[in-house]
Amino acid sequence: MANIQIRDIHILETCDCEIVEHDQALDFHQFVQACGQNDGWVLALFEHDILQAVNVSPRQHRYLGEDLLRARRAYRLQRDFDASLTAVALMLDLIDEVHYLRKRVAE
């Protein structure tokens, strides 16, 4: 069984996580376990385009640290704002856009 190291980072009452081993791939069941959720919740992330698997089903996809980071962020948004996964998908897209624009401005 593959192990993936996750380090939770708490800054000013917010929590994020850092994936220590970025190249360690997880299978579907390991990913569900690492998310701390059930199969249905993870599959719903694909239905709402929060996660994407190219040319394979979610159960055959190999999950990397960035997938886990996005799933954990989605869970926190859903929990903290009592948001639907549709709303979470929009929030994540907006967060990604802000990060992209900040990077462009910094160049």
Residue 81 sits in a domain whose CATH number is 1.10.1660.10
CA distance 80 to 54: 30
> 76: domain range?
6-106
Span 35-63, average pLDDT: 95
In a domain, 1, yes or no: no
| Residue 42 predicted with pLDDT over 90 | yes
What 3-state DSSP class applies to 56? Answer: coil
Q: What is the pLDDT of residue 52?
A: 95
Lookup: tokens for 66: 């960035």
pTM (2 d.p.): 0.77
In a domain, 100, yes or no: yes
* Tens-digit pLDDT profile for residues 3-14: 555 655 444 444
16 or 36: which leads in pLDDT:
36
CA distance 64 to 51: 11
The residue whose two tokens read 């081993």 is: 21
The count of structural domains within the chain is 1
